[in-house]
């Protein structure tokens, strides 16, 4: 029989009273501060409506909490709003102190002391709301450790930021949550100063600052639901946020996992989750992509919008949650390598087989990510690196035919790669030969359709990024097979050393649309690329100096006469047989 949550009566608070009447803590298993410029902009716009007199009050949303044994309100939902509120109050206090120091301190005989008193009152009122000075308990603790431990890095930074420490406001930080807090502080500081400075007289500026403070603490309302138990709090949270309008899928999935753990296991589970997310820089977008990739490897590809529901439908008890976290922990390092195989240096040595790393790097340069589930599934099933290399080579063939040459959409590939990965994970395939056979049957485009598409293949090229590397890869592989140009050092010369630059053989008007055909492109050593390449004689002269036999052959053709559309088509057709041999 289903059990129903006995939802407590919500309580409505003004912001000022909310902090005065409660001590809030963000449990360490919660996500970190993630508001960016857009959310802060929306926050300010709502307050600006009150400042401009367009509205008299603003509903700031709901929060869900659980009162723990220490009488603290553990925030299950709403920490973004409460954290932003605390930072904003700190901004108001710091601006009031700065005005006082600049305009009043040391000028008591020439200024209006009553206005100076108003600034000091604002500062004291903010300190009373934020609390935490002189060893007291802050009204909001954003990183709450076990056994009362609160000197954690994010909490220490947040405390310094909201208690007037200049280094926290101005210092360099690398942690994403710290960056978000620091950016929010400066964005709100700029907004307040712009509004205050619209007044010409100092006394009016102080009145405006005081008005902003009072409107926020007295006219912003929040509804708080304090649940009777942690489990009830999680259930209410998921009910309110299951559509994920303001959360990434990874955030609500984390809460689901923690809700299954219970009080006895939640500490260990959070430590495991933190170890996973630390490797992804606590970036919610990366974490979500990683979880989605893992899900595609074991089960099936689902959209980000449906990811939480897919996970919550399958992961329903503490043992399943542990297995889920264990799999994520075992795969997260591999995932970061797939994202960037060559940097940092530790990534380049993750695989002992350098061939695997190099092929992954080529895929990374071309911004190919759809294949991640297959490699993750093979790694999970402990396939040898030689087998992984064999399969990665087939992945490249499938991608080049399907996407690069024929230009079909990615949906079929993404779904197909996920199906292959699922069969690997479930041990449906008996070995690497079965994996290759499965990819050939499901995903590999035929030789005939590949050759037909290649005959009219056109690429824009570029000086950097995926467009550059895709075309560089195509040409280098073609030169390797057609002219035997690179022997064993193709990767070293072309990708590791980045020795070559894309060059259009002709961009004359008479060539027309054939300017971007593959037959009109080559790669040339960078030291041979001349600034003026419009003259075909000059192009031929430099190509003849190239160490690539393909360029030397091309130079001889150019030296025999003009370069026409027919020449481009003939050159492209000469590569056609090589295409299906390579890929």
**Tens-place pLDDT, residues 82-127:** 999 999 999 999 999 999 888 876 655 445 657 778 898 999 999 9
pLDDT band for 247, please (50, 70, 90 cuts): low
The per-residue pLDDT for range 343-383, each reduced to its tens digit, is 999 999 999 999 999 999 999 999 999 999 999 999 999 99
Give Cβ neighbours of residue 92 (< 8 Å, ≥ 6 apart). 122, 126, 192, 209, 212, 213, 216
Sequence-separated contacts (24+) of 357-362 with Cβ below 8 Å: 358/491, 358/495, 359/389, 359/392, 359/393, 359/396, 360/392, 361/491, 361/495, 362/396, 362/469, 362/473, 362/491, 362/495
- pTM of the model as a whole: 0.68
Confidence (pLDDT) at 1:
35
Question: Which string of DSSP letters, residue by residue, matches 103-165?
Answer: HTTT-TTTS-HHHHHHHHHHHHHHHHHH--GGGPPPSEEEEE-GGG----HHHHHHHHHHTT-
Confidence (pLDDT) at 149:
45
- Cα-Cα-Cα-Cα dihedral of 191, 193, 199, 202, to 10°? 160
Residue ranges per structural domain of the chain: 11-241, 456-582
Number of residues written out for the chain: 583
Q: Are 520 and 471 in contact (CB under 8 A)?
A: no
Rg (alpha carbons) of the chain, rounded to whole number = 31
Confidence (pLDDT) at 28:
73
- Number of Cβ within a 10 Å radius of residue 5: 15
Confidence (pLDDT) at 112:
60
State what percent of residues in the chain have pLDDT above 90: 64
With helix as H, strand as E and coil as C, how does 49-83 read? Answer: HHHCCCCCCEEEEEEEEEECCCCCEEEEECHHHHH
Q: Kindly tell me if the per-residue pLDDT of 536 is higher than 80.
A: no
pLDDT band for 524, please (50, 70, 90 cuts): very high
- Between 64-73, 139-148, 419-428, the lowest mean confidence (pLDDT) is in 139-148
The per-residue pLDDT for range 347-356, each reduced to its tens digit, is 999 999 999 9
Confidence (pLDDT) at 108:
54
User: Could you give the angle at which helices 432-442 and 385-399 cross, rounded to 10 degrees?
Assistant: 10
pLDDT band for 267, please (50, 70, 90 cuts): confident
pLDDT band for 512, please (50, 70, 90 cuts): confident
The per-residue pLDDT for range 150-161, each reduced to its tens digit, is 457 889 999 999
The per-residue pLDDT for range 2-20, each reduced to its tens digit, is 444 455 667 889 999 999 8
Q: Extract the tokens encoding 252.
A: 């609500």
State what percent of residues in the chain have pLDDT above 70: 93
**Which region, left, alpha or beta, applies to residue 427 given φ > 0 means left and ψ of -120 to 50 means alpha?**
left
Quote the CA–CA distance of 389 and 313 in Å, as a whole number: 35
Q: Which range is most confident: 234-248, 269-283, 367-381, 458-472?
A: 367-381
Strand partners, 74: 25, 66
Distances (CA, A) of 104 to 97, 99, 191, 364: 10, 8, 23, 59
- Between 58-62, 165-169, 207-211, 246-250, the lowest mean confidence (pLDDT) is in 246-250
Q: Kindly tell me if the per-residue pLDDT of 146 is higher than 60.
A: no
The per-residue pLDDT for range 545-582, each reduced to its tens digit, is 999 999 999 999 888 877 889 999 999 999 988 999 99
Confidence (pLDDT) at 577:
87
The per-residue pLDDT for range 309-323, each reduced to its tens digit, is 889 889 999 999 999
The per-residue pLDDT for range 409-421, each reduced to its tens digit, is 899 999 999 999 9
| pLDDT, mean of residues 493-509 | 87
| pLDDT, mean of residues 329-337 | 98
| pLDDT, mean of residues 195-216 | 94
Confidence (pLDDT) at 479:
94
Q: What is the mean pLDDT of the chain?
A: 89
């Amino acid at each position: 029989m289903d059990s129903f949550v006995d939802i407590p009566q919500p309580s409505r608070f003004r912001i000022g009273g909310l902090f005065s009447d409660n001590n809030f803590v963000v449990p360490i298993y919660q996500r970190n501060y993630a508001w960016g410029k857009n959310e802060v902009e929306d926050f300010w716009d709502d307050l600006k409506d009150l400042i401009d007199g367009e509205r008299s009050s603003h509903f700031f949303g709901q929060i869900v909490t659980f009162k723990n044994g220490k009488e603290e309100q553990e925030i299950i939902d709403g920490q973004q709003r409460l954290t932003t509120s605390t930072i904003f109050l700190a901004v108001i206090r710091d601006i009031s102190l700065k005005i006082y120091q600049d305009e009043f301190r040391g000028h008591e005989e020439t200024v209006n002391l009553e206005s100076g008193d108003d600034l000091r009152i604002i500062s004291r009122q903010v300190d009373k709301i934020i609390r935490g000075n002189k060893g007291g308990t802050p009204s909001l603790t954003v990183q709450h450790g076990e056994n009362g431990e609160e000197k954690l890095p994010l909490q220490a930074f947040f405390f310094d930021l909201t208690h007037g420490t200049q280094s926290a406001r101005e210092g360099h930080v690398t942690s994403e949550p710290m960056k978000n807090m620091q950016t929010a502080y400066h964005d709100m500081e700029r907004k307040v100063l712009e509004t205050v400075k619209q007044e010409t007289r100092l006394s009016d500026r102080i009145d405006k600052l005081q008005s902003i403070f009072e409107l926020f603490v007295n006219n912003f309302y929040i509804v708080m639901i304090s649940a009777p138990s942690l489990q009830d709090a999680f259930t209410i949270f998921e009910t309110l946020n299951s559509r994920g309008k303001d959360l990434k899928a990874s955030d609500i999935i984390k809460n689901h996992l923690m809700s299954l753990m219970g009080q006895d296991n939640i500490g260990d589970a959070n430590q495991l989750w933190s170890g996973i997310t630390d490797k992804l820089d606590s970036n919610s977008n990366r974490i979500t992509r990683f979880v989605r990739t893992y899900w595609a490897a074991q089960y099936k590809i689902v959209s980000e919008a449906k990811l939480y529901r897919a996970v919550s439908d399958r992961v329903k008890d503490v043992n399943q949650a542990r297995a889920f976290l264990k799999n994520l922990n075992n795969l997260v390092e591999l995932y970061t390598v797939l994202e960037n195989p060559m940097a940092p240096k530790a990534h380049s040595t993750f695989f002992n087989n350098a061939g695997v790393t190099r092929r992954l790097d080529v895929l990374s340069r071309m911004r190919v990510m759809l294949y991640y589930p297959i490699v993750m599934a093979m790694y999970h099933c402990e396939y040898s690196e030689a087998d992984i290399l064999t399969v990665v080579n087939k992945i490249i063939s499938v991608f080049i035919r399907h996407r690069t040459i024929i230009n079909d959409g990615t949906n079929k590939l993404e779904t197909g790669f996920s199906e292959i990965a699922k069969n690997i994970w479930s041990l449906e395939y008996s070995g690497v030969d079965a994996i290759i056979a499965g990819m050939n049957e499901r995903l590999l485009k035929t030789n005939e359709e590949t050759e037909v598409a290649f005959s009219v293949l056109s690429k824009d090229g570029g000086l950097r990024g995926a467009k550059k590397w895709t075309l560089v890869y195509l040409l280098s592989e073609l030169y390797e097979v057609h002219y035997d140009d690179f022997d064993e050092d193709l990767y070293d010369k072309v990708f590791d050393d980045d020795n070559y630059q894309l060059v259009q053989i002709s961009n004359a008007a008479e060539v027309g649309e054939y300017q971007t055909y593959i037959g009109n492109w080559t790669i040339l050593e960078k030291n041979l690329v001349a600034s003026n390449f419009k003259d075909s004689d000059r192009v031929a002269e430099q190509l003849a100096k190239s160490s690539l036999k393909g360029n030397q052959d091309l130079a001889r053709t150019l030296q025999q006469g003009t370069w026409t559309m027919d020449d481009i088509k003939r050159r492209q057709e000469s590569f056609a047989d090589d295409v299906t041999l390579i890929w």
